[in-house]
Amino acid sequence: MFQPDLLKGKRILVTGGGTGLGRSMSHRFLELGANVVICGRREDVLEQTAEELTKETGAEIETVRCDVRLPDAVEAMMDRIWQKRPLDILVNNAAGQILAPTHKMSSRAIDAVLGIVLHGSAYCTVAAGRRWIDAGERNKVVMSILTVSALLGAPFTVPSAMAKAGVLAMTKSLAVEWGPRGIRTCAIVPGLFPTEGAWSRLMPKERGGDEELVKTIPLRRVGEHIELANLAAFLVSDGAAYINGDAVVIDGGKMQSGGGGASTQSMLDWTDEQWEAIRPKKK
Ligand code: NAP
């Protein structure tokens, strides 16, 4: 799909790169020649992923333990990364989620989600951007991984929707503020991509099995990690150098399916007989 050296020479930090979609994007970036750093809170997870990714791609990968909720820890991580070589691309991917009625959420739970997604993305973005701007470096990219809830809102995951909407606002604002300085921003809005993290937190069996979920997606399947990883590779590459401030939705058309209201969803599976039954009869 891409030339094999699409990302050659690019140094990329993927926050939350030890698991799930962050791991899959890191894998693809490495395959395409990038130099990748992954961060997260669990050192053992990072180490194991790094070992596996090196085995799978033959490329070396760096790990930094960092809790992105803590601004000092983020600065220390960026110092450590910059000591070796400045970044070219930041991918804000780390996230946390809680599925619960909003009026029953504790302030701690709300702070935890806002801390990782909203504050963490802001700290990482500002820490990288300041270093690029101070050094007069250009052709840099900040890409953030959002959720559909950033665009439409979502019941029962309200702190996440709020935080992701904030990151979208950051993406749009910095496209204008930092564009003239040679830094562009963009985002991906994923639909449903099975990962251990998201599925364990957001898909309890009470919500219906994967079969029920798939019925809500026009393409009748969940996303494959490689599909998102390829989009990510394109967006951070020089091939996408004129994309700035935009968020690309990759969800099999799920976001569009709200138009007719929830009741039209079941009509997608109607038989010809059911359609015939509601056809106006000739008088
Ligand atoms: P995941 O596997 O749980 O990934 C989350 C990652 O974030 C973990 O590696 C975690 O590592 C890291 N993280 C959490 N808190 C952190 C902190 N305070 N500091 C640093 N790292 C932290 O989930 P995923 O499904 O791959 O999600 C990846 C991204 O895609 C998220 O932004 C998510 O909102 C978005 N997304 C996913 C889906 C989906 O269907 N999977 C749909 C829409 C959007 P540690 O726990 O070790 O810190």
- Supply the pLDDT for residue 198: 83
Position 174 scores a pLDDT of 99
Which residue pairs, CB below 8 angstroms and at least 24 apart, start in 104-111?
105/158, 105/159, 109/159, 110/159
Tens-place pLDDT, residues 16-67: 999 999 999 999 999 999 999 999 999 999 999 999 999 999 999 999 999 9
Q: Please report the atom of ligand 1 found closest to the CA of residue 148.
A: 43
> What residue ranges do the domains of the chain occupy?
11-278
The alpha carbon of residue 41 and the mean position of all alpha carbons in its chain are separated, in whole angstroms, by 18
Determine the distance separating the centroid of ligand 1 and the alpha carbon of 136, expressed in angstroms.
31
- At residue 261, the pLDDT reads 65
Point out the ligand 1 atom lying closest to the alpha carbon of residue 21: 26
Residue 71 has pLDDT above 80, yes or no: yes
Tens digits of residue pLDDT in 231-283: 999 999 999 999 999 999 999 999 998 766 666 777 888 999 999 999 998 87
Around ligand 1, the residues with Cβ closer than 6 Å are: 15-16, 18-22, 39-42, 45, 66-69, 93-96, 116, 120, 145, 147, 190, 192-193, 195, 197-198
Q: Whose CA is nearest to atom 10 of ligand 1?
A: 16
Q: Which of 38, 66, 93, 113 to probe ligand 1 with, by most ligand atoms within 8 A of CB?
A: 93
What's this model's pTM, rounded to 2 decimal places?
0.95
Work out the average pLDDT over 220-238.
97
Q: Which of 188, 268, 258 is nearest to 223 (CA)?
A: 188
pLDDT tens sequence across 143-195 = 999 999 999 999 999 999 999 999 999 999 999 999 999 999 999 999 999 99
What's residue 262's pLDDT? Answer: 64
Burial of 222 from C-beta contacts in 10 A (0-12 / 13-18 / 19+)? middle
Gap from CA of 197 to ligand 1 centroid (Å)? 7
pLDDT value at residue 238: 98
Whether residue 208 has pLDDT greater than 70: no
Q: Which CATH class is domain 11-278?
A: alpha beta
Q: What is the pLDDT of residue 49?
A: 98
Return the DSSP state at 269. T
Cα(260) to ligand 1 centroid in Å equals 32
